[in-house]
Amino acid sequence: MKREDVDVLVVGSGAGGLASAVSAVHRGLKVIVAEKEAVFGGTTARSGGWSWIPNNAPAKRAGVQDSVDKARTYLKHEAGEHYDSAKVEAFLEAGPKAVDFFESQTSLQFDLGPTFSDYHPTAPGGMDGGRSIVARPFDGRELGKEIKRLRPPLREITVLGMMIGSGKELLHFFNVTRSPISALFVTGLVAKFARDVTFHGRSMRLMNGNALIARLAKSCFDKGVPIWTSAPVRTLIRDDSGRVTGAVVNRPDGPVEVHARKGVVLAAGGFPQDSVRRKELMPHAPSGHEHVSPAPPGNTGDGLRLGEAVGATVNTELPNSAAWVPVSRPPMGNGLLGTFPHFVDRSKPGVIAVTRSGKRFVNEAQSYHDFCQAMVKRCQEEGGPDAELAAWFVADHRTFRKYGLGFAKPSPVPYKSLVKQGYLIQGKTIADRSEERRVGTECLP
């Protein structure tokens, strides 16, 4: 068997893995990143890519008034009996330092989300904005040939493959038929997108989680850190004392023993596509198949199993084993259903959410996590522990054409095919379609 000797082996190529690799190589260590899938980026590359870090540098540059005491108060309130003082203090101290390091030493640059509030901004220590940051848009051409190995964004939340930023950029798309300025802005983006597809086969204007991964990967490549793809880790190697000293990695050219002098970082993600562990940790989903996830199909809990195999344990005492988000299943062609996460729809003006009873169950503007917890609770109150966990977004035609709804885009994009396929239900009154609610836009955590 082939052998490689390094200081650090990183398992997984999402934001956690690549950030670890960049940090290690900047300390003079030799690093290899091993990724099981054929593309790098993990779930992060499909995500919004936002980070919640109090007292971050972009906020300070913008004059945001925050403090460690205020953030600590907020976390104490939110965590309740699960508050871990040591972890919180480490996070509050290291978080701003990490932002400073990446902005000053690597290709990663951040923008502030001034209107992205804390999940509970009215809670003690909460803020209306200033703690959430996102990677600055990135030109994919800077990755050179490696752009072909970058995981593309989630198709369902793009416009024909074009990524759209949050905030002002999204508002331009909503106002494209009503504002000449917005129309000009969107036309320019579409023209650049068409150019990129023609010459590169995909958008080169990377946003959100895709930009975060691209910037971290660029920082790895600049320092000579290889990212092995199609290279799953099969087992960890331990010495006679039980210390983990490496791993066996199955590369396309055969297995390799990677010996890591300083350690192995397990950054292979959670278990969103592991139905067995979902069944164990989600009592309201007894088969493990009740939920769908926008995470990549390869995110199956490998890191957890590798850790358990050498004596680690998974904490099962926390009240939620996932960050819930409502999801609908748009038709994607060839009989396949997509996975559309409703991060924005909940708070669009004129949109409400109802359960099968036709009653609202939550303030739709609350966080997606709160939304789904309220949905599960109400569905079980109305239908018992075995009830279908589903809800429907309802809006009038004017709201729908102005803002869109889920996978259905705003005017002037046509939508009739989605009505025929059952993704959308249209009627002159709510009662007109009440018997057909079941085939509407279901929202699954």
Element (H, E) at 249: strand 244-251
Stretches where the chain sits below pLDDT 50 are: 435-445
pLDDT of 387: 87
pLDDT in tens, 192-221: 888 888 888 888 999 999 999 999 999 999
Predicted confidence (pLDDT) per residue in 404-416, tens digit:
999 998 888 899 9
Both tokens of 259, joined, read 């010996």
What's the confidence (pLDDT) of residue 438?
39
Q: Which pLDDT does position 114 carry in this prediction?
A: 80
pLDDT of residue 189: 80
pLDDT at 297: 92
Torsion of CA 163, 169, 173, 174, to 10 degrees: 130
Tens of pLDDT, residue by residue over 85-111, are 999 999 999 999 999 999 999 999 999
Task: Work out the end-to-end distance of the chain between its first and last CA atoms, rounded to an integer number of angstroms.
Answer: 44
How far from 103 is each of 54, 143, 214, 328, 415, CA to CA, in Å? 16, 18, 14, 36, 42
Predicted pLDDT at 176: 73
CA distance 291 to 221: 37
User: Tokens for 404?
Assistant: 């869109």
Global pTM? 0.91
Tokens in use for 93?
A: 């101290």
Between the CA of residue 87 and those of 18, 72, 83, 92, 371, what are the distances in Å? 22, 11, 9, 9, 27
Q: Confirm if 209 and 47 have CB atoms less than 8 A apart.
A: yes
Give just the sign of the alpha carbon dihedral 283, 286, 288, 293: negative
| CA nearest neighbour of 368 among 338, 395, 336, 342 | 342
CB 96 within 8 A of CB 57: yes
